[in-house]
Structure 1
Amino acid sequence: MKFNYLVFFALCGFLNLSAQEYYFPKANADWEQKSPKTFKIKDAPLQEAVAFAEANEYSGSRDLRIAIVKGFEREPFHQILGRTKKRGGPAGMIIKNGYIVAQWGDTKRVDMTFSVTKSFLSTMAGLAEDEGKIADTKDLVIDYIWDGTFDGAHNSKITWEHLLQQNSAWSGELWGGKDWADRPPSDGDIDDWKLAQPKEPGTVMEYNDVRVNVLAYSLTHVWRKPMPLVLKEKVMDKIGASTTWRWFGYDNAWTEIDGLQMKSVTGGGHSGAGMFISAEDMARFGLLFLNNGKWKNEQLISEKWIKKATTPSTPNANYGYMWWLNQKGDRHWEGLSENIYYAAGFGGNFIVIDKEHDLVVVTRWLEPSKVGEFMTKVNAAF
């Protein structure tokens, strides 16, 4: 009797058979669809989830200049500094083992995606570490960026990890944005906020686009290339993304590297700019992460990086390296896997990675407070 080593290794966990079964859509081709029944997914609950997403459109204006100004009206000096675009209606995709099992809206339409951009920016740091351009994210940034951006007793203590986890408390001004003016508290005196001493790096998470843009600026100098070019060459072309996505910086965000003027991009659309992308290209990016950084047979992002990026930070159990984590905490989706992680952006833009169900879920313009309920409805189909 012949011994089947393949079966033996699979049973022992040496082979990931589910990952081998993933389908990877080709570039410039229709994305293959399969019936939910193929995967024993209950069709009625799945359609209920889709209907819920369509019925709960983000309540802000479709003119995103208006939505941005209204959304951040409490911030002193806030203004639109980069490109914006009127948005479409609700859209999304549910991808199982790489196949579309549900979709709604215009999935090819290019729209702003706001802070989903941060998860793309985080990946630029991951590629830099994978290639040795950054030795370790625990390194001090001042050892790489010596132009004054990280000078001073406070800023000189900041590591790459602090920037990636949004707990750096970097203090200063970049592209006209002042760190203290970004997302002030809803109560209290603004002058007290302005004059407060910065927190110790690594101790308090503060969502702050100025500091995220400092990370983008620093990575641009480490790579010595614009971030959109790095993303295109290292990731998007290789996963068959369309040619329609764009990554913008503020109008004045120019820096000189090797005698060349380069645009430093933003990590969101808080003041305009950021990633403009379709739901289908978002889903391709999500599928790459679902398969542990591998597209077909090519490892584009190391598994080591993805593990680091999805490890909870000390100040916030729900946040890793610019990915939100469904751990027990303030942003926990009760009843859903704690292994779920996701990119999230203003206006209800999400890329959700659910390893336990081999799922990628993309939603556009879903009322943000409804995403947990939406994912619960998706989960009910399994």
Structure 2
Amino acid sequence: MSLLQDAGCYVPPPAGQDWRQMAPDAAGFDPAALSEAAHLAETAETPWPIDLEAKIAGGFFEPPPWNEILGPVAPRGAPNGLLLKGGAIVARWGDTQRVDMTFSVAKSYLSLLAGIAVGDGLIGDIDEPVGARVRDGGFEGHNAPITWRHLLTQTSEWEGSLFGKSDEIDRNRALGQDNTGLPPRSTERALQAPGSFWEYNDVRVNRLALSLLRVFRRPLPEVFAERIMQPIGASDSWRWEGYRNSNVEVGGRPMLSVPGGGHWGGGVFIHAEDQARIALLAGRDGLWGDRRILPEGWMAASRAPTRVEPGYGFLWWLNSGRAKYPAASAESFFALGTGGNICWIDPENDLVGVTRWIDPARMNDFIASVMEARA
């Protein structure tokens, strides 16, 4: 069987072993053109400074006191990434084993954990009210009708404060080019009924993370390691950090609730190669070779357009109508983290691209250069 014939079955071996390298021409790419695409990704560097803590503390996301940092922050590295075809590496640039913050890429990882909770029967139906299983005072009154689907699609309109951060911080924002929440507008916005309004809101995503912690009754990083990262052979260099004030009690035990991003520090710190493994798993409908990691159909459900925001699924960005990235296929979907941390998954062409610290304004150019490099 040739490399191309078994491309749809191949998954990389555990970290530390040789990941298959495929020559660009064997994978259907013009070598010179693909080299240019990799060069673009490496040289089109994000405008973000190396000192991420200073950027956050300086009020990039919001002004004081809402911008208080609660979790670990680390300086960023240089641009790096890799492109997979059929699971094999066809291009790589920079230090792809450099562990860095990923910001909102972690939201898509929460979506994977939600799928595991559904498969385990810990969530009976994503359209049931969260408060039917999570009885911690967070789903009463206005919040009582909120379902798991609402939280996964960012349509919950959850109202409240969590770990010292109010949902009002992210309420009525605009989104920047790389999905960064820009400072709140001067006008207030009245809350809508759950499910009727889409808004990118980190506090509400963190409320989902806490709710998943309560149904698993285990810290999410432990579940993520056991059920996803170890089965796909990831390294042991990644970590998922919480906040200094995000310890909660579950079953009489203290546990750290982790955020779905690095908006106020914390979140997932990981390298590009481990991210590529996760993206490959998502693009293969939760299968790793012949082993099923995610429930059958979970990724298809995750990629279904949200009624009030067709460019968004279950914490994954979609390319419906090729509106997000015109150069990518309409079937492509993305895990996006501010600052240029992007996982691009194209199941139609069996492609996975991971870019770290690319200028978000150049991401479509990178995708275009990859697609045009196909021989």
Question: Normalised by the size of structure 2, how large is the TM-score?
Answer: 0.92
1:156 aligns to what?
144
- Correspondent of 1:219 among 208, 212, 215: 212
Q: Deviations over 1:343-368 (max 9, x none)?
A: 00011001111112111100000111
Q: In the superposition, relative to structure 1, how do residues 56 and 255 fare at CA in structure 2: closer, same or farther (>3 Å)?
A: same
- Correspondent of 1:322 among 286, 307, 315: 315
Q: Deviations over 1:177-199 (max 9, x none)?
A: 00011265469986742xx4312
Distance 1:93 1:183 in 2: 35
Distance 1:188 1:29 in 2: 45
Contact 2:285/2:298 (CA < 8 Å) preserved in 1? no
Q: Deviations over 1:259-280 (max 9, x none)?
A: 1100000000000000000101
Contact 1:75/1:183 (CA < 8 Å) preserved in 2? no
Q: In the superposition, relative to structure 1, how do residues 75 and 118 fare at CA in structure 2: closer, same or farther (>3 Å)?
A: farther
Distance 2:131 2:11 in 1: 43
Distance 1:19 1:302 in 2: 23
- The unaligned stretches of length 5 or more in structure 2 are 175-181
Q: In the superposition, relative to structure 1, how do residues 150 and 25 fare at CA in structure 2: closer, same or farther (>3 Å)?
A: same
Distance 2:185 2:15 in 1: 50
Q: Deviations over 1:122-166 (max 9, x none)?
A: 1111000011110111111010112210011x1001100000001
Answering whether residue 219 of structure 2 is matched by residue 231 of structure 1, we say: no
**Equivalent residue runs for 1:267-282 within 5 Å:** 267-282=260-275
Q: Deviations over 1:198-220 (max 9, x none)?
A: 12111221111100000000000
**Equivalent residue runs for 1:81-96 within 5 Å:** 81-96=70-85
**Equivalent residue runs for 1:178-217 within 5 Å:** 178-182=166-170, 184-185=172-173, 192-193=187-188, 196-217=189-210
- Correspondent of 1:139 among 123, 128, 140: 128
1:10 aligns to what?
none
Contact 2:27/2:90 (CA < 8 Å) preserved in 1? no
Contact 1:167/1:203 (CA < 8 Å) preserved in 2? yes
2:340 aligns to what?
348
Q: Deviations over 1:59-108 (max 9, x none)?
A: 01111112323421347522111001111000000011111100001100
1:369 aligns to what?
361
Distance 2:56 2:184 in 1: 23
The amino acid of 2:231's aligned partner reads: K
The amino acid of 1:257's aligned partner reads: V
- Structure 1 residue 250, shift from structure 2 partner: 0.9
Answering whether residue 302 of structure 2 is matched by residue 309 of structure 1, we say: yes
Answering whether residue 12 of structure 2 is matched by residue 24 of structure 1, we say: yes
The amino acid of 1:161's aligned partner reads: R
Distance 1:90 1:105 in 2: 6
Q: Deviations over 1:237-270 (max 9, x none)?
A: 0100000100011110011011110000000000
CA RMSD of aligned residues (A): 1.8
Q: In the superposition, relative to structure 1, how do residues 18 and 318 fare at CA in structure 2: closer, same or farther (>3 Å)?
A: farther
Answering whether residue 23 of structure 2 is matched by residue 35 of structure 1, we say: yes
> Does the residue aligned with 1:351 lie in a helix, a strand or coil?
strand
Distance 1:270 1:328 in 2: 29
Answering whether residue 13 of structure 2 is matched by residue 46 of structure 1, we say: no
1:263 aligns to what?
256
Distance 1:334 1:240 in 2: 33
> Does the residue aligned with 1:36 lie in a helix, a strand or coil?
coil
Contact 2:169/2:184 (CA < 8 Å) preserved in 1? no
Deviates more, 1:41-50 or 1:177-186: 177-186
> Does the residue aligned with 1:171 lie in a helix, a strand or coil?
coil
1:5 aligns to what?
none
Q: Deviations over 1:16-65 (max 9, x none)?
A: x7665424233321322111111221112211111111121110111111
1:128 aligns to what?
117
Q: Deviations over 1:278-318 (max 9, x none)?
A: 10100110111122211122100023110111111011111
> Does the residue aligned with 2:121 lie in a helix, a strand or coil?
coil
> Does the residue aligned with 2:297 lie in a helix, a strand or coil?
helix
Contact 1:76/1:181 (CA < 8 Å) preserved in 2? no
> Does the residue aligned with 1:328 lie in a helix, a strand or coil?
helix
Answering whether residue 242 of structure 2 is matched by residue 242 of structure 1, we say: no
Distance 1:238 1:49 in 2: 31
Q: In the superposition, relative to structure 1, how do residues 19 and 144 fare at CA in structure 2: closer, same or farther (>3 Å)?
A: farther
- The unaligned stretches of length 5 or more in structure 1 are 1-16
> Does the residue aligned with 1:39 lie in a helix, a strand or coil?
coil
2:178 aligns to what?
none
Distance 2:222 2:39 in 1: 37
Deviates more, 1:66-75 or 1:287-296: 66-75
> Does the residue aligned with 1:361 lie in a helix, a strand or coil?
strand
